[in-house]
Amino acid sequence: MVNVAVVVLGDIGRSPRMTYHALSLSNMPAVDKVHMVGYSETKAHPLIANNDKVDIHPIRVFPISMSRTKSLLLWPFISVAKVLYQIIQLMWILLFVCRNINYVLVQSPPAIPTVFALQIICFLCRCKLIIDWHNLGYTLLQLSLSKSERHPIIRVAKWIERVFGRCAYAHLFVTEAMKDYLSTQWNLKGTLKVFHDKASPIFKNLQISEQIEFLEEFKQNYLSDAKDEQFLQMVIDNKKQRLNNTTSKQKNVGDENLASLIISSTSWTEDEDFSVLLRSIKDYEVDSQLKHRLLFIITGKGPKKDYYLEEIRKLNLQKCRVISVWLESRDYPLLLGSADVGVSLHNSSSGIDLPMKVVDMFGCCLPVLAVNFKAINELVQHERNGLIFNDSKQLYSYLKRLFSTFNSSNNTLSQMKQSLIQDRKVNTWESSWNSIVSPLIN
């Protein structure tokens, strides 16, 4: 029997891939205990929180907020203090709280200080380190600080990530592009495997009747503004009409009393430019030929959220409505399954990662409009399961294309949804995990 630690220096409740790893590990007969280490800002999924084989070990948040540190002189000292604070907690939990660890599976980024600290911890307790590469940490730092790759801070961060991330028992990658880049540029040592993100079984296609039932509950539980409720009711009415007319030709094309639901999950950060969606909404709003209403529900938290919500309030939208909500983890898959299309604004800092939010949308058989970048074609197949756009004008043109003929019986969204339904039957987390990751755990 083996014990495995799953480490993510982020919120466990908002780390779906690491949550799925923990769940799959707990289902292995050879695994006695899974220790999940990370922040507990939101509730972990019930499948983890109520799992007897999974113990959650919360990391305390550093008491000083980096975003509120205005002094440039204090920033370096506070940054070092935060890293030391995290290292001490990781070492205490993994060396003294979690006993007899055999494997440590860690998400990177953040590479600092996790990969550095875990190399020391794995050496001391003689356990095997598996690094799950989601992106390149130094590129995210470069983006957040608005610095070039030649800046001293970025160069040091890249050096630490490369040196301490080079050697491990095994490396997992979310894309082929990431594996190719890191294996050649950083000369990685250990077993190298590409493990594309897959949606958990909790993400599934919903029948229209199930969508209506959830949206009625959503209106009661999450909405209080009368205009928000009005738009959501138009979405529900649209779905009811579609349900009643499944055997006959639709008659509500462009009906201004009905609405469609568009979902986007964003971190409100630099690598997800929300202004692209905002400009496309403006263009849709002023197009006099378009009568069909659109309800945009945006989920997620981040530093630019308040700024963009204020910009939205200034627009005085009539045909479109934008709502920002923070969902319970159990409601997120149901909202995705109830939407008509998803939007991904993820513009990779490295160009070689993929957005997990799109994977979850595909798990619900939800077609996606995704911003273009280097590796996106490994996930979104243009015109088959989604549409790829380069700028706000192209996104607007897709919204116009999809929702000017939304209720016709043979539209683009219906065709893409059918492709996703077929893919979902064979493209599962369990089958991929059992063939790629499971053999690494002896």
Give the model's pLDDT for residue 67. 60
CA distance 225 to 221: 12
309 with 278, same domain: the answer is yes
Where does the pLDDT of residue 253 fall: very low under 50, low under 70, confident under 90, or very high at 90 and above? very low
Q: What is the mean pLDDT of residues 144-154?
A: 85
Cα distances from 278 to residues 28, 197, 221, 296, 323, in angstroms, run 45, 28, 26, 11, 13
pLDDT tens track for 302-343: 888 999 999 999 999 999 999 999 998 889 999 999 999 999
- Check whether the bond before 355 is cis (ω within 30° of 0): no
CATH code of the domain in which 324 resides: 3.40.50.2000
Give the model's pLDDT for residue 201. 82
Is-contact 335 299, C-beta < 8 A? yes
Q: What is the mean pLDDT of residues 26-39?
A: 96
Whether the per-residue pLDDT at 155 is higher than 60: the answer is: yes
pLDDT tens track for 374-426: 999 999 999 999 999 999 999 999 999 999 866 554 589 999 999 999 999 88
Asked if residue 157 belongs to a domain, the reply is yes
399 with 301, same domain: the answer is yes
pLDDT tens track for 117-133: 999 999 999 999 999 99
Is-contact 11 37, C-beta < 8 A? no
What single-letter amino acid sits at 403? F
Give the model's pLDDT for residue 90. 96
CA distance 257 to 72: 53
Asked if residue 239 belongs to a domain, the reply is yes
Cα distances from 27 to residues 35, 169, 333, 345, in angstroms, run 14, 22, 22, 34
Where does the pLDDT of residue 108 fall: very low under 50, low under 70, confident under 90, or very high at 90 and above? very high
234 with 303, same domain: the answer is yes
Cα distances from 112 to residues 128, 151, 224, 346, 440, in angstroms, run 19, 17, 41, 22, 25
Domain span holding position 321: 208-424
349 with 400, same domain: the answer is yes
Is-contact 142 349, C-beta < 8 A? yes
Where does the pLDDT of residue 255 fall: very low under 50, low under 70, confident under 90, or very high at 90 and above? low
Asked if residue 203 belongs to a domain, the reply is no
Where does the pLDDT of residue 249 fall: very low under 50, low under 70, confident under 90, or very high at 90 and above? very low
Is-contact 360 203, C-beta < 8 A? yes
CA distance 37 to 6: 6
Q: For 13-17, 152-156, 382-386, 402-406, which range has the lowest pLDDT when averaged over its residues?
A: 402-406
Where does the pLDDT of residue 250 fall: very low under 50, low under 70, confident under 90, or very high at 90 and above? very low
72 with 119, same domain: the answer is yes
Q: What percent of the chain has pLDDT over 90?
A: 72
Give the model's pLDDT for residue 393. 98
Where does the pLDDT of residue 246 fall: very low under 50, low under 70, confident under 90, or very high at 90 and above? low
346 with 212, same domain: the answer is yes
Asked if residue 7 belongs to a domain, the reply is yes
CA distance 438 to 429: 12
CA distance 298 to 311: 14
Asked if residue 14 belongs to a domain, the reply is yes
Q: For 62-66, 89-93, 236-240, which range has the lowest pLDDT when averaged over its residues?
A: 62-66
CA distance 112 to 305: 26
393 with 415, same domain: the answer is yes
Whether the per-residue pLDDT at 219 is higher than 50: the answer is: yes
249 with 179, same domain: the answer is no
Backbone dihedral angles phi then psi of residue 357, each to the nearest 5 degrees: -60, -35
386 with 353, same domain: the answer is yes
The tally of domains found in the chain comes to 2
CA distance 111 to 211: 40
> What does the DSSP assignment read for 296-316?
EEEE---TTHHHHHHHHHHH-
Tokens of 99: 């006993």
> What does the DSSP assignment read for 350-378?
SSS---HHHHHHHHTT--EEEE--TTGGG
Nearest to 120 by CA among 147, 143, 95: 95
Asked if residue 90 belongs to a domain, the reply is yes
Give the model's pLDDT for residue 192. 98
| Mean pLDDT computed over every residue of the chain | 91
Query: If you ran DSSP here, which 8-state letter would residue 174 be given?
Result: S
Nearest to 37 by CA among 64, 9, 14, 61: 9
**SS3 (DSSP) at 273:** coil
115 with 214, same domain: the answer is no
227 with 145, same domain: the answer is no
261 with 381, same domain: the answer is yes
